[in-house]
Amino acid sequence: MFTGTLKTFSVTNLMQMCYNDNNTGTVEFTKNNTSCARMGFSNGRLMYAKLLGIEGIEAVKQLTLLQDLNFNFTPQAPQMGANIKTDINFLLLDCSRYMDECVEYIGRLKNLFPAKYALKGARFYQYAHNYFASYDLYHVKYFEVYDQTDMTVIYQDKNIGARIEILFENKILTNDLLMFMDEKDIF
């Protein structure tokens, strides 16, 4: 049994270690002591993955973007059915490529918004808001919160298939923002 955090140990490193050590067991990912994802290994082979409402390879890709999760490996046979049949080496390369593309996209996204929006930052959403921890509500494509000084918009970006959090310094007109994002083909 081993534990850690994705801040210091990436999902790809975790997969590589389980593969190299020929591990059988389940890795559970938690945020604030609440389970939000699982990966199951059998003799080092990744058999299944699930992150909130996503399963299989897409769940693994989304997990590679996250850093604010803790993990715990339990050496027991996986309890879920297989939803991944891809070779681990191909999957590791695919996840690395996906991560590189997403990081590059975030850089371009930050430059996309004109000065009138007062963009403070853009990043991969780390599922801090309980709204997205529910399986039933996970597939919501757009969400916004205003905290008296900043406006946070969380949305599913169709270009990279990842949930993005953008922070604006002031509250802005939602319709104006939605039209701008639609015009730039973000949705």
Domain boundary pick from 92, 117, 139:
92
Count of domains for the chain: 2
Q: Are residues 12 and 72 in the same domain?
A: yes
Q: Phi then psi for 172, rounded to 5 degrees?
A: -125, 165
Residue 133 CB contacts under 8 Å (≥ 6 apart), including other chains: 31, 34, 36, 52, 127
Rounded to an integer, what distance in angstroms lies between the CA atom of residue 167 and that of residue 187? 17
DSSP states along 90-106: HHHHHHHHHHHHHHHHH
Q: Are residues 81 and 8 in the same domain?
A: yes
pLDDT of residue 183: 81
Percent of the chain topping pLDDT 70: 98
Q: Are residues 47 and 113 in the same domain?
A: no
Q: Are residues 88 and 7 in the same domain?
A: yes
Q: Are residues 67 and 108 in the same domain?
A: no
pLDDT of residue 122: 93
Residues 6-60: tens digit of each pLDDT: 999 999 999 999 999 999 999 999 988 888 899 999 999 999 999 988 899 999 9
CA of residue 182 relative to chain centroid, distance: 22
> 72 lies in which domain range?
2-92
Q: Are residues 76 and 120 in the same domain?
A: no
Domain boundary pick from 71, 92, 113:
92
Mean pLDDT of all residues in 95-114: 92
pLDDT of residue 137: 73
Q: Are residues 7 and 53 in the same domain?
A: yes
- Count helices and strands (H / E) in the chain: 4, 10
Average pLDDT of the chain to the nearest whole number: 88
